Amino acid sequence: MKPMRFSWKNICLPISCINNNTNQKTTTNPSKERLLLLSRQNSVPSKVYMSDFSNSTISLNDLSSSFLVSIHIFAYEELKTITQGFSKYNYLGEGGFGEVYKGFVDDSFKTGLKTQPVAVKALIREGGQGHREWLAEVVILGQLKHPHLVNLIGYCCEDDHRLLVYEYMERGNLEEHLFQKYGGALPWLTRVNILLGAAKGLEFLHKQEKPVIYRDFKPSNILLSSDFSSKLSDFGLATDGSEEEDSNFTKSVMGTEGYAAPEYISAGHLTTMSDVFSFGVVLLEMLTARNAVEKYRAKKGRNLVEWGRPMLKDPNKLERIIDPSLEGKYSVEGIRKVAVLTYQCLSHNPKSRPTMTTVVKTLQPILDLKDIQNGPFVYIVPVAGSIEVHDIKCKDDVKVVKEETEKEAKVCPRRQAGQRKRRKHKAMKSRAVYSDTALYKSLGSSLYTPAN
């Protein structure tokens, strides 16, 4: 799904990344003067905001003293080396403003840098607006650190090269797992835990002294670690919230189709409640395993929110929209609680939506609900002529058993022969019963990673 982007709000900067001229005249730009003042206060780093960069010529040298997180500065050739020349074999995908490659650094590469795999995102120079996005990520992730925000290791700003270096997230993003056509479906508890982590990340952003509005919350921006812990990534569209939310308007609308709040699209009214609406869209995607916009469907069902929201408040209709790949293995009470929360997040009235703090408090107890079907994974093999049930295999709480397929009652020989003949032309069907609880018990909380 391609991002729907229009124009930036007066913030494309003629920034000089490397400022070695110490004899420059003092600027009269208020934002510049503020940053220069902050840079002299070395004892206590002070935070700067994206609004400080509007219509200015601030350099990263002026900004670096405000970093509250240890950020490394890389040379372009260094990043070229660790990605093997940005080889196609190391290609991971495309981020908000450029291509992403896997790399590897060891402790001898740079002082203070531990041995680890990394993800290197390179700005597409033909992208036009990419420099502002690159700068937003440096400013935000250079000053904010949280378990559910992706860790920015460093950046490169050399000539016209703009690159970012992040921690590597082993399991990719939520979109790849939630909408995959092949392989096992994400279990219910894993889905809730992923969205809970993302909610905590948004809550942290919204609770800043000057709230950070993420503006592009969607499954592809939720990265997953090996144990399916979630972290928010791609902060290129993030912006500072106004101190008075009612006055925070913008003429430009940016984000991804299907996720933007209605008041933001129609009137440019941007607040933290815009992020809450986007979170509600992803909650609905989690429940249904359907994309926010599916243009191949009939007109009535193309927009997920328009199609699914009316059914969230009706318990009798709720079952119709639940992802069938879950095969009923979820907490019924948990589904209903998430449905109510999703309905509230998707309210057309921003003031009726819950805060992200309320969202976190609502999702947390759902992980402890016990009304999920118990028992091991059972695969029942029908064997013609068998009249008993035998255990064929039992390993790691996984059983395979034979099932009686013929009635014990006597059947007339002619009818019995007819049944055998028909069975030759009818493929045998097997039935499988999945248990979320048993899978978690035997395979670990990540489902795919064995428990320690």
**HSE (side-chain half, CA atoms, 13 Å) at 353:** 23
Higher pLDDT, residue 217 or 406: 217
Those residues with Cβ within 8 angstroms of residue 328's Cβ, 6 or more apart along the chain or in another chain: 373
- How many CB atoms within 10 Å of residue 320? 10
Q: What is the pLDDT of residue 424?
A: 45
| CATH-assigned architecture of domain 175-368 | Orthogonal Bundle (1.10)
Structure tokens of 272? Answer: 């933290």
The residue-averaged pLDDT of 132-145 equals 88
What is the DSSP secondary structure assignment for residue 271, as one 8-state letter?
Answer: -
Higher pLDDT, residue 63 or 344: 344
Q: Is 426 annotated as a binding residue?
A: no
pLDDT over 70, % of the chain = 63
Indicate the pLDDT class of residue 438, thresholds 50, 70 and 90.
very low
Q: Which residues of the chain are in CATH 3.30.200.20 domains?
A: 14-167
What is the DSSP secondary structure assignment for residue 178, as one 8-state letter?
Answer: H
Higher pLDDT, residue 73 or 441: 73
From the centroid of its chain, how far is CA 28?
A: 42
Indicate the pLDDT class of residue 152, thresholds 50, 70 and 90.
very high
Residue 116 has pLDDT above 50, yes or no: yes
Phi-psi region of 51 (alpha: psi -120 to 50; beta: other; left: phi over 0): alpha
Q: Where is average pLDDT lowest: 67-81, 122-136, 208-222, 287-301?
A: 122-136
From the list 62, 107, 159, 216, the catalytic residue is 216
- If you write DSSP's letter for every residue of 383-435 in order, what string do you get? -TT--S--EEEEETTEEEEEE--S-SS---HHHHHHHHHHHHTS----EEE--
Q: What is the pLDDT of residue 359?
A: 98
pLDDT tens, position by position, 408-435: 444 455 555 555 555 444 433 333 333 3
Residue 365 has pLDDT above 80, yes or no: yes
Q: What is the pLDDT of residue 94?
A: 84
Q: What is the rounded radius of gyration, in angstroms, for the C-alpha atoms of the chain?
A: 27
Structure tokens of 389? Answer: 């049930």
List the beta strands (DSSP E) in 328-390: 377-382
Average pLDDT in the chain: 75
The residue-averaged pLDDT of 349-366 equals 97
Percentage helix, strand, coil for the chain under 3-state DSSP, each rounded to 5: 40, 15, 45
- Residue 4 host element (H or E): strand 3-4
Q: What is the pLDDT of residue 277?
A: 98
pLDDT tens, position by position, 175-207: 999 998 777 789 999 999 999 999 999 999 999
Q: What is the pLDDT of residue 402?
A: 41
Higher pLDDT, residue 449 or 103: 103
Indicate the pLDDT class of residue 64, thresholds 50, 70 and 90.
low
Each as own residue / partner, the long-range contacts of residues 166-169 (CB below 8 Å, 24 or more positions apart, any chain) are: 166/118, 166/119, 166/120, 166/121, 166/233, 167/116, 167/118, 167/119, 168/102, 168/116, 168/117, 168/118, 168/119, 169/119, 169/223, 169/224, 169/225, 169/231, 169/233
The residue-averaged pLDDT of 320-342 equals 94
Q: Which of 368, 304, 369 is nearest to 342 (CA)?
A: 304
Rounded distance, CA 237 to CA 432, Å? 45
List the beta strands (DSSP E) in 96-244: 98-105, 116-123, 152-158, 161-167, 212-213, 222-224, 230-232, 239-240
Give the largest CA-CA distance in the chain: 106
Rounded distance, CA 343 to CA 361, Å? 16
The residue-averaged pLDDT of 243-264 equals 76
Asked about 240 being catalytic, the answer comes back as: no
Residue 47 has pLDDT above 90, yes or no: no
From the centroid of its chain, how far is CA 55?
A: 32
Structure tokens of 178? Answer: 């939630």
CATH topology of domain 14-167: Phosphorylase Kinase; domain 1 (3.30.200)
Indicate the pLDDT class of residue 6, thresholds 50, 70 and 90.
very low
Q: What is the pLDDT of residue 126?
A: 64
Q: What is the pLDDT of residue 175?
A: 94
Indicate the pLDDT class of residue 51, thresholds 50, 70 and 90.
low
Q: Where is average pLDDT lowest: 20-34, 185-199, 305-319?
A: 20-34
Structure tokens of 215? Answer: 């503006």
CA dihedral 182, 185, 190, 192 (to 10 degrees): 110
The answer to whether the predicted template modeling score (pTM) of the entire model surpasses 0.75 is no
